[in-house]
A and B are shown apart, each in its own frame.
Chain A
């Protein structure tokens, strides 16, 4: 049976949904172990057991968070070697991909990012060129390193919980020597809304909002959605750059994407055209977004969005 290593970075006292997805995927591919960075909280250890994790590997060094990527990658590679893992799974965050990138070089292992599904033989599926192609890829090396996008696996505990063993992994000391040091970290204020890349519903606004994100935020909150934006809106400074959906921002594949006041040029389309259902509201009937919308409304978003928000609140009681 294949040995699968899942890297989880600083879970705190509970595991994120995307981590549970990785554990579920890992179990479908073989015997899973976790390489953890940070403290192993009792509740997290219990969840590992429920998800069939046999071993938790912990780094010998406690200062991995003080450096950018390199020592974490060295740790993940050392853990994979110690375990004899042939599949390494990480989340698809920018840092997850970079840890995968460097661990891949250390392990002589092929790295595949943006994975949405993995077959039993290790073949990974992903979409490329802004969602215009679906591809199947496989590492030709003994070990494969895969970063997996959120929301593609349904988290499911194992049939029977497993007893958990903890093992220490020696982090190569040289890995911090040539690493950039993080000298300050500033937490951003949490919005209370779902994370844009993981959200089931996204309501996004663009140039047509003319600086006022109110109608988009109110509709998003009525739907329990994340708020997104076009590059025009983030470049204008109407909303944080974190909210940008598109080629140079985030790629999202929610169940529902509501686009308001966004023309839908290629730069925006690249970030959202794999959404299951697209709804568009725009004053201009010629907007390209209407070519890809399942339901389009030619109209003033300042009338349409508040009316929809009120109607949703009414129906939800």
Chain B
């Protein structure tokens, strides 16, 4: 199988995150591989391993679009087990919204399919910075492929996939022919950690760099100019401050209710 996993280099949520500059884009210091993408990578590795892994010709390609630092997300994916990396990077991509991102990624995926068809594109359920979940659905629309999103289980048998999708009021079983675009939730598996062997092996794996010219996308279709939405202003919310903290002396439950009553919340 040839599986492309989309990985994103995102600001670490453990630290304060900031919006800066023209278009109020995220500051990418202190960035990591988006946690939710580890589930996508694990799902891809399990499918490849069940078919004999890299030795049997199965490919798990980690594709990331982003500035130079995004290569770190690809390196992490290679350490975890991806067979090769592809870094789509171009100054003209800066400030891309979901529409521009999905256009560039769709073109990159078509380019990667030129030496052999892609069976699956797997993504996380959302990025942990933008958190819109738009890109997987927009990729499916642009590539005209079946969309199987928010999968909490995934099986591939022959040329078909079956997935489970859990919504609040119902659970659905979904079937689609390959190739398809799949996004997976954090319920689908337990992602592995890179081990020493994986870290050493990753040094020998290749990372291909692609520019917009390589994938046949005009710079005006990318970045701020290619985006269909604009951020007009961004204001940091004042951080919450601690209020009254009491220690229970046997009547804290009553005091809690007094507080709710005073706030007119009862």
Contacts and interface: CB of A to CB of B under 8 A. Distances in A.
**A interacts with B:** yes
Interface of A: 68-70, 73, 94-95, 97-98, 100-102, 104-106, 108-114, 123, 127-141, 178-188, 190, 195-196, 201, 223, 241-242, 247-248, 255-256, 266-267, 270, 273, 277-279, 281, 285, 290-300, 303-312, 315-316
B140 A70 contact: yes
Interface in B224-266: 227-237, 240-248, 250-257, 259-261, 263, 265-266
B64 interface: no
B13 A111 contact: no
A185 B145 CA distance: 22
Interface residues of B, number: 85
A311 B254 contact: yes
B253 A311 contact: yes
| Residue from A97, A195, A306, A308 having most chain B Cβ neighbours under 10 A | A308
Given A242-B168, A312-B257, A297 B149 contact: no
A180 B148 contact: yes
A182 B243 contact: no
A300 B227 contact: no
14 contacts: A101-B98, A101-B134, A105-B141, A111-B99, A111-B229, A129-B19, A183-B175, A186-B170, A277-B263, A297-B247, A303-B252, A303-B253, A304-B256, A307-B254
Interface string B104-142: 000000000000000000000100111111110110111
6 A-B pairs with the lowest CB-CB distances in the bound complex, closest first? A307-B253, A299-B248, A110-B228, A101-B137, A180-B176, A294-B243
Contact of B170 (A110, A185, A196, A256): A185
Nearest to B259: A295
A304 B170 contact: no
B231 to A, nearest CB: 5
Nearest to A273: B240
B237 A132 contact: yes
A273 B135 CA distance: 26
Contacts of A102: 137-138, 140-141, 147
B147 A135 contact: no
A100 B174 CA distance: 20
A178 B245 contact: no
B167 A95 contact: yes
The CB with the most chain B CB atoms within 10 A, among A129, A255, A273, is that of A129
A141 B246 contact: no
B196 to A, nearest CB: 27
Contacts of B248: 297-300, 303-304
Helix, strand, loop or mixed for chain A's interface?
mixed
Given A180-B174, A292-B240, A139 B252 contact: no
A256 B141 CA distance: 39
B172 A184 contact: yes
A297 B246 contact: yes
Contacts of A291: 240, 242
A137 B140 contact: no
Nearest to B253: A307
Contact of B265 (A97, A135, A277): A277
A137 B97 CA distance: 11
A179 B257 contact: no
Given A133-B237, A179-B146, A188 B266 contact: no
Contacts of A294: 243-244
B229 A110 contact: yes
A12 B150 CA distance: 25
Nearest to A306: B253
Given A138-B230, A183-B174, 13 more contacts: A70-B141, A98-B137, A110-B229, A128-B131, A180-B148, A182-B174, A186-B170, A187-B169, A187-B170, A291-B240, A297-B256, A298-B248, A308-B254
Contacts of A267: 13
Nearest to B264: A255
A278 B240 CA distance: 10
Contacts of A70: 140-141, 146-147
A316 B266 contact: yes
A210 to B, nearest CB: 18
Contacts of A297: 245-248, 252, 255-256
Interface string B158-189: 00001101111111111110001000001100
B26 A311 contact: no
Listed residue (A101, A114, A138, A277) with the most chain B CB atoms within 10 angstroms of its CB: A101
B36 interface: yes
A102 B234 CA distance: 26
Nearest to A187: B170
Instruction: Identify which of B16, B168, B170 gathers the most chain A CB atoms within 10 Å of its CB.
Output: B168
